[in-house]
Amino acid sequence: MAPEIPVRFLSTPQEYGEILSYQESLRDSVIAKKSEGEVLFLEHLPVYTSGLRGKTEQFIRPVGDIPVFNVRRGGELTFHNPGQLVIYPVIDFRHFGFRSIKEFVLFFADSIVKVLRDFCGVAGAVWRDDPSGIWVGERKIGFTGLHFRKFVPVHGFSVNISNDLAPFENIIPCGIVGCKITSVEKETGNIFDVNEVARKISEIINLNRRNDVSDP
């Protein structure tokens, strides 16, 4: 049976650069077999990030004093701020019984979707491979972008819970012209505590993993 996936919750919004440095250091420790790693659940202070396919022209309005990070992850432009849940699974996926990157990504995506549907009441939430992400109809509520080295990723997933969505209007999110961005609050009219949603997802992650590895 695969071991339980370790998780860590950060209860206050975090500065992006500091968390990125921590992820990279943690990955080095996992690769060196000095740590099992952990799945980080947190919120970020306002920040734009541009992935490997991001382009300058995808900024369509000034972003003011909000920092912009160019990072080595899949995807294009996105935005993080308080009220959005971010999930960084910095673990060696082989150690926890995953056989491929695709299986690993879909496992986390499906766990997030289950909590959005069953706990938050976003009945229409679904994962799509193309364009990748979690969608409610034609509205995007969840995002993914990872970078793997020796089977260990940094970066991860983000889900709009009750965050201000206006800053998304300054960019072409994920490189999708006309992409509509939504949140749990916008879809349901209810405000959920991000930390509570994080704990629900962490519970589902390890429950689903126990069920998966026990299947014949």
Contact between 160 and 92 under an 8 Å Cβ cutoff? The reply is no
Q: Is the pLDDT of residue 207 over 90?
A: no
Instruction: Look at residue 212 in the predicted model and tell me its pLDDT.
Output: 62
Instruction: Look at residue 70 in the predicted model and tell me its pLDDT.
Output: 87
Instruction: Look at residue 18 in the predicted model and tell me its pLDDT.
Output: 98
Q: Which residue, among 201, 197, 193, has the nearest Cα to 111 in the 3D structure?
A: 201
Torsion of CA 164, 178, 47, 42, to 10 degrees: 60
Strand order in the sheet with 77-80: 68-70, 47-50, 77-80
Instruction: Look at residue 61 in the predicted model and tell me its pLDDT.
Output: 86
- The residues near 29 (Cβ < 8 Å, ≥ 6 apart) are 35, 37
Instruction: Look at residue 181 in the predicted model and tell me its pLDDT.
Output: 97
Over residues 36-88, the pLDDT tens digits come to 999 999 999 999 998 877 788 889 888 889 999 988 887 889 999 999 999 99
Q: Is the pLDDT of residue 137 over 50?
A: yes
Over residues 110-126, the pLDDT tens digits come to 999 999 999 999 999 99
Instruction: Look at residue 216 in the predicted model and tell me its pLDDT.
Output: 33
Q: Which of 174, 181, 194, 205 is catalytic?
A: 174
CA atoms of 172 and 72, how far apart (whole Å): 19
Instruction: Look at residue 211 in the predicted model and tell me its pLDDT.
Output: 64
Strand partners, 148: 153
Active site residue 179: no
Higher pLDDT, 73 or 203: 203
3-state secondary structure of 19: helix
CA distances from 212 to 103, 204, 209 (A): 11, 12, 5
**In order of start, what are the domains of the chain with their CATH numbers?**
7-214 (3.30.930.10)
Higher pLDDT, 85 or 176: 85
Q: Is the pLDDT of residue 210 over 90?
A: no
CA atoms of 86 and 7, how far apart (whole Å): 13
Taking residues 204-214, report their average pLDDT: 71
Taking residues 160-181, report their average pLDDT: 93
Instruction: Look at residue 24 in the predicted model and tell me its pLDDT.
Output: 97
Q: Is the pLDDT of residue 213 over 90?
A: no
Where helices occur in 165-193 by DSSP H, the ranges are 184-188
Ramachandran bin of 105, using left for φ above 0, alpha for ψ from -120 to 50, beta for the remaining angles:
alpha
Taking residues 181-194, report their average pLDDT: 98
CA atoms of 20 and 1, how far apart (whole Å): 31
